[in-house]
Structure 1
C-alpha cells in the first residue's frame, strides 16, 4: 500500500471497538472525529490535514500491535493516538516505539521513556492517591480492598497505592486481580463482605466494572463500602443502570458535568455536531480529542511531529485544553483532577483534588 501524500498526516486512532472496553468505543470515535474536523478547519497538525485510520484496540495486544506496525511499515500512518489499555500500549511500543510519535491518552501507571511516546492521561500521583486521601477525610475510608483486572495498569497502580498509603492513615488491606472479561464476581464480592475494609478501589475496565457494580449492589454492599475508581465514566453508569451506583466515586480530569469554561466549549461543539443522542461525552472519549489536539500542539511548537523533532518539546510547557490548564512534565502531563460521586446515571462533581502545576 503506498504512503499518503505529504499534504496529509495520517494518525492511527487506536480505540476499543469490541471486548470488555468496547463500550468506550463510540465516544472515542465521536470525540476524535470532532477533533480532526476542527483541526482541519484550521491548520491541521504541523500544517497538514488530518486523516484518522481506526484500529480496533479491543483485540489481543499482539494483534493490535501487528496492525499498527504494518501501517507504520507501509508509511500509511505517521503518528499513533488513542485510548486503550496499557497492555496494548506496551505491545505497540515494542513494535513501533521510537519510529512515530505516540500520544497515549488513557490514565496510566507511570512513565515510558520510549522516544516520541507521550503519556497524556492521569496517573496515580494526581488521580487515585489524592482521591483516596479525600475519601479518608470525607468518608472515613482508611482500609482499602483493591479489585482490578489482571494486567499492567491495575497491577502497578495497586502496588503504587499500597506503597504510597503505607505511611499514611490509610492502607491497602487486600488485592484481588481477575482476567479482563470477567463477568462473575460472586466469589470476589463474598470475600469482600468478610474483610475488615472500609472501601473498595476498583481498577476494573469497561464491562467488567459494569458487572461488578451490579453484583456489588445486589449483594447489599453499596451502602456499606464506598467504591473509588479511576476508570468508571458515564458509559459505565449508563450500562450499569441507576440502581448499581450508590456509594460509587470516580477520579478523573474530565466529566460531562464538569461545567468549566473549557469543558463547556467542548460540550457545546460536541452536541452541536452529533446531536442530543450522541455517545455520551466522558473522560475516555475526551481523552481521544485531547490526544489529537496534543499532537497539534507538538506540531505547532516543534514544526513537525517526527520523533527527532518532538524531542525539542520543552518540559514545563503549558497549554489550555477542555480539561483546563495542562503542563508537560517530561513526556507526562500534569492536569487538574476532580473527584465525583455517581448520582444515578450521572456524576456530581465533589471537589478538585489535584492541579496542573
Structure 2
C-alpha cells in the first residue's frame, strides 16, 4: 500500500470518501444502506489529541482489511470521523443529530471517559457503541461495549510486582481531574494496601495544566518510593518532562497508567529514568499478531508514520471486535450484539482477547522505558 497522508482537522464530522485518506472537514454524505457506516469519535484536539493521527490510521487500516475480506456481514465499512476533543456539550449535540438523522450504524469511540459518560445517554440502546481505550471499568450502559484494560487486570499486578521486586511501599498518586483517574485511584489504593504499602499523597490536576511545580514540590517532600501517574496525553508529557528535568527520576520510581510509545517520544529519553508502564499492548510485544499489524501499518502509512501505541491500536481492535461480534450475532442491532458479547474471543493486534461479563481479558505487560521504547519486564 502507498503511504497515506493525514490532514489536521477541526471539530465536527470528517468523512473519508474512499479509504484510506481523509479529505478535510465535510458533512457526512447520504447513506448507502449497502455499507455499514461507523461514526468514529476520536480525539484530534486538546490534551489527548496527540493520539489522533495514529488512531485514524489504525481504524482506517482495520476497515480496509475487513472490507478486503468481505466486510461485516457482507457490508463494507464506511468511516466518518468526529473530533472528540471539542467541548462535551457540543459533541453531545452532534451525537443527538447523528441519532435523530439515522446517519450511523455503529459508534467507535477512542477518547476520554468523560466524553463516554456524556455520549452514552444519547446512544444507549439505539446505536451500538464500542469504546476501545483503557478505562476505569464498570461500564453497564445498554448497547455500550468497552474492550480496554481496567484497573484489576492492569494496575493491580504491576503494583504487586513493584512492591515485591523493588520493595516499593510508599506511593504518591497523581492524575488528571476527571472520572477515569478518580475511579482508578479508588481501586489503586486498595491494591497498594493489599501489597502492604501506603499512600503518602494524592493530587488531581486540571486538564491542560502546564505548571507542575507545586505537585513536584509535594512529591519531593513526601519521599515516595513510587509515583503512580494517571495523567492523560500531553499532560503526561509535560509532567514527566518536568519530573525528569528536576532530577526526581533517580530518586523514585514512576508507574504510569496511560503512557505508550507516543507519550514516551514526547517525554524524551533523557526524562524517562525509572519510568514503568503497564498495558495490554506495546509495539515491542513479540507475536505473530503484532508483527502482522505493524507490518501492515508500515506498508500503508510508511516508516515515519505516527507510532501506533496502545491507544491508537485500540481503534484497530475495535473494528475487529465489531466484525467478530456481528458474525457471532448475525446482526448489528444493539440488543443482538449485547447478547452475543459474553464469551466472545476476537483477534487483532494483541492476539486473542476474550470478553467475559463485559470485561476484556488479555495479557498485561509491564514495560520499563528504555530510550524511546519500552523494554518488557514482565507479563501477567
TM-score (norm 1): 0.96
Aligned-partner Cα distance in 2 for 1:167–1:127: 15
Given the alignment of the two structures, is residue 173 of structure 1 paired with residue 196 of structure 2, yes or no? no
Given the alignment of the two structures, is residue 7 of structure 1 paired with residue 34 of structure 2, yes or no? yes
Matches within 5 A, 1:32-71: 32-71=59-98
| C-alpha contact (below 8 Å) 1:3/1:74 kept by paired residues | no
| C-alpha contact (below 8 Å) 2:177/2:204 kept by paired residues | yes
The aligned counterpart of 2:322 is 295
Given the alignment of the two structures, is residue 277 of structure 1 paired with residue 304 of structure 2, yes or no? yes
Aligned-partner Cα distance in 2 for 1:166–1:93: 33
1:3 to partner: Cα distance: 5.7
SS at match of 1:175: strand
| CA distance 1:216–1:267, change in 2 (3 Å) | same
Given the alignment of the two structures, is residue 200 of structure 1 paired with residue 262 of structure 2, yes or no? no
Given the alignment of the two structures, is residue 240 of structure 1 paired with residue 267 of structure 2, yes or no? yes
Aligned-partner Cα distance in 1 for 2:58–2:194: 40
1:149 to partner: Cα distance: 0.3
Aligned-partner Cα distance in 1 for 2:153–2:146: 14
Gaps of 5+ in 1: none
SS at match of 2:249: coil
Given the alignment of the two structures, is residue 253 of structure 1 paired with residue 280 of structure 2, yes or no? yes
SS at match of 1:27: helix
The aligned counterpart of 2:56 is 29
Aligned-partner Cα distance in 2 for 1:246–1:124: 24
Aligned-partner Cα distance in 2 for 1:98–1:155: 27
Aligned-partner Cα distance in 2 for 1:232–1:332: 21
The aligned counterpart of 1:75 is 102
Aligned-partner Cα distance in 2 for 1:42–1:72: 29
The aligned counterpart of 2:243 is 216
User: Structure 1 residues 281-290 or 136-145, which shifts more?
Assistant: 136-145
SS at match of 1:113: coil
| C-alpha contact (below 8 Å) 2:261/2:309 kept by paired residues | yes
1:314 to partner: Cα distance: 4.7
1:154 to 160, 164, 181: 181
User: Structure 1 residues 330-339 or 63-72, which shifts more?
Assistant: 63-72
The aligned counterpart of 1:335 is 362
SS at match of 1:145: strand
SS at match of 2:284: coil
The aligned counterpart of 1:102 is 129
Q: Superposition RMSD on alpha carbons, in Å?
A: 1.4
Q: What is the number of equivalent residue pairs in this alignment? A: 353
| C-alpha contact (below 8 Å) 1:62/1:88 kept by paired residues | no
Aligned-partner Cα distance in 2 for 1:130–1:43: 40
Gaps of 5+ in 2: 1-27
Aligned-partner Cα distance in 2 for 1:311–1:17: 29
SS at match of 1:313: helix
| C-alpha contact (below 8 Å) 1:55/1:68 kept by paired residues | no
Aligned-partner Cα distance in 1 for 2:338–2:42: 26
User: Structure 1 residues 110-119 or 184-193, which shifts more?
Assistant: 110-119
1:274 to partner: Cα distance: 0.8
Give a deviation string over 1:141-188, Cα, whole Å, max 9, x none.
221111100000000000111123323312322210011111110000
1:256 to partner: Cα distance: 1.0
Aligned-partner Cα distance in 1 for 2:29–2:58: 28
User: Structure 1 residues 140-149 or 68-77, which shifts more?
Assistant: 68-77
TM-score (norm 2): 0.90
